Structure 1
Amino acid sequence: MTPLTSVPRLVGIARVLLRYRLDEMVEATHLFRPLRWIRPLFGRPPADLAALSRGARLRLALAELGPIFVKFGQILSTRRDLLPADIADELVLLQDQVPPYPGAIARAAVESSLGAPVATLYARFDEAPLASASIAQVHAAQLHDGREVVVKVLRPGVGDRIARDVSLLEDLAGLVERFHPNASKIRPRDVVAEIETTLVNELDLQREGANASLLRRNFKNSPDLYVPEVHWSHTRETVLTMERVRGIPVDDIAALDAAGIDRVRLAEKGVQIFYTQVFRDNFFHADAHAGNIWVDPANPREPRFIALDFGIMGSLPEADQYWLAENFIALFNQDYAQIARLHVAAGWMPSTTRIEELEAATRAVCEPYFTRPLSEISLAEVLVKLFQTARRYELTLQPQLILLQKTLLNIEGIGRQLHPRIDIWAVAKPVLERVWRERRGPKAILKSLRRRIPEWLAAAPDMPQLLHDYLQKASSGGIQMRVHSEDLRNLHADASASRAQIVPLALGATLILSAVLLYALDATVARFAGVPFTAWLAAIAGTACFWLANRRS
């Protein structure tokens, strides 16, 4: 969007901000500051609007500005380290609800996308929608074999509107980078890019169907979570047909009690499901507000959740998943020194950060909470306080963690609503430790080795020549080493640890290489799981050496 084409939309945004009397925002924003002179043209606000808090007025303004601003507000609600509490509390309440568009338009969109008349595709198609949001709306239908389904249809023209608003947000992010003193830590362009990715993914309903299919497979036959089936024959990029499910909204406490649901057990399952999705599957439902989570009342003593709306799913790079899990475990164990070391090692804080100072600051935040009973400790509240403290040490915002932070807040909120005295820590810690042991334990290592052996075999013929070339360059002085001043400062401290690692590393490398060669050459020795037994022994021994070297580091 060019500057000239942005002007009408910017004026529209300014008009909404002024109408809702968001005076603090107008005064604080360089772009809109001149508009304070035209504020009198809008007159006095209605009494009901003037009586609302600034957070409520901001929430209403974002809802009026459209879907991208609703999503932006929802994401901002997780950044309590950046927002006042009253505003963050209101933004959590943002709901993406808009009036429905005519059912005849939805019917035409279905026929255009699926290439057949609705009567041919469905035995029944209700034009009155079950639900309507700014991106899509949902209609009840029935297949010719009698199965009940729901049909999700994109709103006409929503893609173009989102593209325009994303372009505008990029312009505003540029202004933030220019004027905000902490722009390098907030990383506004990265935040906008994250929002854009989320919205673009929501526009592809076939992708949403694939998300639902994967989540259903991850929890197949699970007593804790049910995911409806996708009907792929009736699904395209702009139309999604899924099994219709019925349940009780998770926030309808009266209905849950009337059905005899064990809310304590249900709350515990909610926490367990979250940590299982994040750390076992690395694929989690990232829009887990009450509207998207129902409860199946069929078995009140062992109730299960029903997941809906799979447009926003989250996953983390392997490195971030590792650092996050280790941070959680250290927090559960009240190991503040480890938390400080992990934040620096992960690159979330500058390498110049003094570990002992960060450890002391972390202890000052956490210790007051741990004097309470664990059932009274809010994990989300502790994390918010930690982020506020970490900002003083130049914490860099990690946009890839935004969805996870939002989901954690939602899950804890649902858990507290179901069971106000739930001990989040006691429920979460064993699940995380068990899942993480499975992900990082010997079985996982052997599985990873078996998966990589074919790659090593493919590269093995080139290894002798590569080693020869390297040694030849080294002997002739053709290899140059670049050492920074920081490396020189740390060299002496690292030297003793490096010496302790040399022997096990060398032995481990030799054994691993032996495993590859044995796998390639030994065709006569008895095989275990498709790999020569001697190769397995060498691989296991080599892995043990690498583990020993890591323990010494």
Structure 2
Amino acid sequence: MDILWSVVWALVSALVVGVLVRRTISVGTGWLRNTVLSLVMGTAIWPITRASYEILGISQDGTIPWLEVSFEAAMIFILLFAWMVVIQMAVLLALELVMPSGTFTTLARAAVRLPSLYRRVSRLSQIQRLLLSHGLSRYMRPRIPSFKVSMREIAQATSEVFAAAGVTFVKLGQFVASRADIVPTEFVEEFSKLQSDVPPVPYSAIEPELVKIWGRPVEEIFAEFSKEPMAAASVAQVHPAVLHDGTEVVVKVQRPHIRRQVKADSDIIHTLAERMENSAGWARKIGVRGIADGFLESLAEELDYRGEIRQTEQLRRAMDPHRRSVVRIPAVYEHLSGERVIVMERMQGVPLSKADAVLGQLSMLARREIARDLFLLVAGQVLETGVFHADLHAGNIVIDDAGRAGLIDFGAVGRLDKRDRRDITLLLLAFERQDSTAATNAIIDIFGMPPEGDTRKIQREVGQLLLQFDAGMPGGSSGLFTALLQFVIDHGFELPPAVGTAFRAISTLEGSLKKLDPEADLLLMVREHMDELLSRTQNLGDAVEGLGLYAAATVPVVAGLPLEISRVVKQLEDGSLDIGMKGLSIDVIRDLVGGVLDQLIQVLVAIALVLAGVVLMAADFGPSLTPALTIFTYFGAWVLLSGFVLAIVVLAPALHQRRFK
């Protein structure tokens, strides 16, 4: 019975101690450590109390008055219980200093992640070996000031490492090659050579993924499904198939386990980018960390096909239904598509990059019609709707024997707001009309004025650029947008990402148009279709609506101006106008000083209580509470305890602030 009573007493004591500790301080009182210490303290309270009773002469022959507790015994027990609470608080704060709250949880999670951590470390070691073997590691250290770093050398070595490191790093290189606005030319040229030569995944590995996505066998959805892919890339592969109603489709399915590989490589890319930018000046100069972050964000979007599905349907709906065009955008079967698979209408034909034989059978009139309709489609996307296909290279344009074309792969899509769309339209018209003033105004409106920019000087240089790209001269507008990008970069303009994407898209389209029609000229097409472009981009109804919105937003501000002016004048008259400083005010200063003074006073009081408690406990005189304990000593123990409690209460917030800094 005594053992059962002791266990119950220990549990009740542990509960009371734990609650009191958590009520007094909040730092370091994690449930695990607080529970363990409460059980220890609760179990130890009664043995310590009995020993204290014997020392102080309260109990004789080990008998304890369970039911009729004496006044002296109760007083000693309450004091000891209070000290156990204070000791537990002090131990918890000491543990917080050495081992902050959450350490055990972190260790437990780390133990669960050990296999993935091992794979990550192994992969990182592999990448570091590649850096060493290709001689790139010497460029990741601070250089001797007199030693000139060769950007071409660095670009070549990095390209070799990316090619050897696998698909994620190849895609990183391809992404870098698309950022000619911020990346040195040497990197763009070397990384543009990167290609991902990836063998297709066997159908036996793809089929379980498709069954898991659709929840039923592939045979129930398709009448035919080719086990051999018609195309394979680093992230996905494409299989031709036929629905039960006879419709030919293509199934773009993500490679199994590609997300796990990309996630591991993404962590490594982020780590390497931080290391390079912290240690190498050339990496800071080109902004390696920003490029890496942009790539990782782009890759995360690419791995979720739902965005591509929305973008494909958005571009398809934006096509003018009243205009006959030989260029089509495939329909998406949304009920069969999702995060890792897309089922869409099959575009007949071959990619423009491999269509020499098909183009050779088409008349020049048919080829020019495809080029014209392709230009009008993309011009409408960029200049009218603001959502456009951002990667129209020859591999993403399909041509068939009948002289029809189709666009594929809508993973890369750009977006432009109304003002940028208007400015790009004006810029094209200004180049077509050789108007340097209008072109300069459009450029400044798009990119802003560079620091210490000279408007007249910029206008003269724009005029020289206009003369190089005249729609009536041999060569015409070939390379216009590439030259514009270089002009913007060379003159220190800030290039908005959306506009940079649009310029690169039009520049890429220009190359595809040239493959269709070697005499295709972007500015001549602008001239031929000027009225149509203007009617689509400068709609009178939109202008009136925009003016109405502007007026609605401006009128309340104008109406409130007299009242605001009157308020400022009144404050000037009575001297109450407060200019103020951001982030600094009398209230802030008062709160800061008040808080410091409060803490200082609490510390001084705590020190005073501790000293007073020590003095009282050392005093060996006064009435006796027990045969071996005086009232002054007992009271001194309480004063000392109060000093410790106050000190802990002051220290706890400081630990809390230290933890969350």
TM-score (norm 2): 0.58
Change (3 A) 1:385 1:242: closer
Once the two structures are TM-superposed, the CA of residue 307 in structure 1 deviates from its matched residue by 0.9
Correspondence list, 1:179-190, <5 A:
179-180=280-281, 188-190=288-290
Change (3 A) 1:197 1:404: farther
CA separation in 2, counterparts of 1:363 and 1:79?
A: 26
Change (3 A) 1:115 1:180: same
CA separation in 2, counterparts of 1:15 and 1:349?
A: 46
Q: Deviations over 1:478-505 (max 9, x none)?
A: 89999xxxxxxxxxxxxxxxxxxxxxxx
1:226 aligns with 2:325: no
Q: Deviations over 1:257-299 (max 9, x none)?
A: 225462233233333322221111211111222222102433x
CA separation in 2, counterparts of 1:86 and 1:9?
A: 28
Q: Which residue of 1 aligns with 2:205?
A: 105
CA separation in 1, counterparts of 2:189 and 2:452?
A: 35
CA contact (8 A) 2:203 2:228 kept: yes
CA separation in 1, counterparts of 2:289 and 2:128?
A: 21
CA separation in 1, counterparts of 2:490 and 2:386?
A: 31
1:254 aligns with 2:357: yes
Correspondence list, 1:279-290, <5 A:
279-290=383-394
CA separation in 1, counterparts of 2:532 and 2:546?
A: 19
Q: 1:165 is aligned with what amino acid?
A: D
CA separation in 2, counterparts of 1:286 and 1:421?
A: 23
Q: Which residue of 2 aligns with 1:43?
A: none
Which structure's CA Rg is the greater one?
Answer: 2
CA separation in 1, counterparts of 2:161 and 2:531?
A: 43
CA separation in 2, counterparts of 1:153 and 1:474?
A: 65
CA separation in 2, counterparts of 1:168 and 1:347?
A: 34
Correspondence list, 1:141-152, <5 A:
141-152=241-252
Change (3 A) 1:469 1:54: closer
Q: Which residue of 2 aligns with 1:394?
A: 492
Q: Which residue of 2 aligns with 1:403?
A: 501
Once the two structures are TM-superposed, the CA of residue 159 in structure 1 deviates from its matched residue by 2.1
CA separation in 1, counterparts of 2:331 and 2:142?
A: 48
CA separation in 2, counterparts of 1:231 and 1:408?
A: 29
CA separation in 1, counterparts of 2:483 and 2:313?
A: 37
CA contact (8 A) 1:56 1:90 kept: yes
Q: Secondary structure in 1 aligned to 2:239?
A: strand
1:242 aligns with 2:352: no
Aligned partner of 2:377 among 266, 273, 286: 273
Q: 2:384 is aligned with what amino acid?
A: R
CA separation in 2, counterparts of 1:211 and 1:180?
A: 39
| Gaps in structure 2 of 5+ consecutive residues | 1-115, 145-152, 581-661
CA separation in 2, counterparts of 1:3 and 1:341?
A: 54
Q: Deviations over 1:406-443 (max 9, x none)?
A: 32232111112222222221013454664344333423
Once the two structures are TM-superposed, the CA of residue 176 in structure 1 deviates from its matched residue by 4.2
Correspondence list, 1:290-301, <5 A:
290-298=394-402
CA contact (8 A) 1:136 1:154 kept: yes
CA separation in 2, counterparts of 1:132 and 1:32?
A: 41
CA contact (8 A) 1:247 1:296 kept: yes
CA contact (8 A) 1:151 1:242 kept: yes
CA contact (8 A) 1:148 1:243 kept: yes
Change (3 A) 1:56 1:341: same
Q: Deviations over 1:35-88 (max 9, x none)?
A: xxxxxxxxxxxxxxxxxx998987665444334433333344345577787874
1:418 aligns with 2:516: yes
Q: Secondary structure in 2 aligned to 1:476?
A: helix
Q: 1:278 is aligned with what amino acid?
A: V
Change (3 A) 1:470 1:165: farther
Q: Which residue of 2 aligns with 1:204?
A: 304
Change (3 A) 1:234 1:263: same
CA contact (8 A) 2:361 2:401 kept: no
Mean CA deviation greater in 212-221 or 326-335: 326-335
CA contact (8 A) 1:280 1:439 kept: yes
Aligned partner of 2:295 among 195, 198, 218: 195
Once the two structures are TM-superposed, the CA of residue 305 in structure 1 deviates from its matched residue by 2.0
Change (3 A) 1:144 1:441: closer
Change (3 A) 1:312 1:333: same
Aligned partner of 2:473 among 349, 353, 374: 374
CA contact (8 A) 1:272 1:428 kept: no
Q: Which residue of 2 aligns with 1:116?
A: 216
Aligned partner of 2:171 among 59, 71, 79: 71
Once the two structures are TM-superposed, the CA of residue 170 in structure 1 deviates from its matched residue by 3.8
CA contact (8 A) 2:428 2:526 kept: no
1:30 aligns with 2:140: yes
CA separation in 2, counterparts of 1:379 and 1:79?
A: 20
Change (3 A) 1:235 1:217: same
Q: Which residue of 1 aligns with 2:62?
A: none
Q: Deviations over 1:71-121 (max 9, x none)?
A: 333344345577787874564454444111121221111111122222322
Once the two structures are TM-superposed, the CA of residue 376 in structure 1 deviates from its matched residue by 0.6
Q: Secondary structure in 1 aligned to 2:140?
A: coil
Q: Which residue of 1 aligns with 2:641?
A: none
Once the two structures are TM-superposed, the CA of residue 472 in structure 1 deviates from its matched residue by 4.9
Aligned partner of 2:536 among 427, 435, 438: 438
CA separation in 1, counterparts of 2:142 and 2:203?
A: 40
Q: Deviations over 1:323-361 (max 9, x none)?
A: 433333333333334444444444544353111222233
Once the two structures are TM-superposed, the CA of residue 367 in structure 1 deviates from its matched residue by 3.0
Q: 1:276 is aligned with what amino acid?
A: G
CA contact (8 A) 2:242 2:248 kept: yes
Change (3 A) 1:163 1:328: farther
CA contact (8 A) 2:383 2:424 kept: no
CA contact (8 A) 2:428 2:523 kept: no
Aligned residues: 449
Percent of residue pairs identical: 25
CA contact (8 A) 2:371 2:513 kept: yes
TM-score (norm 1): 0.68
1:305 aligns with 2:366: no
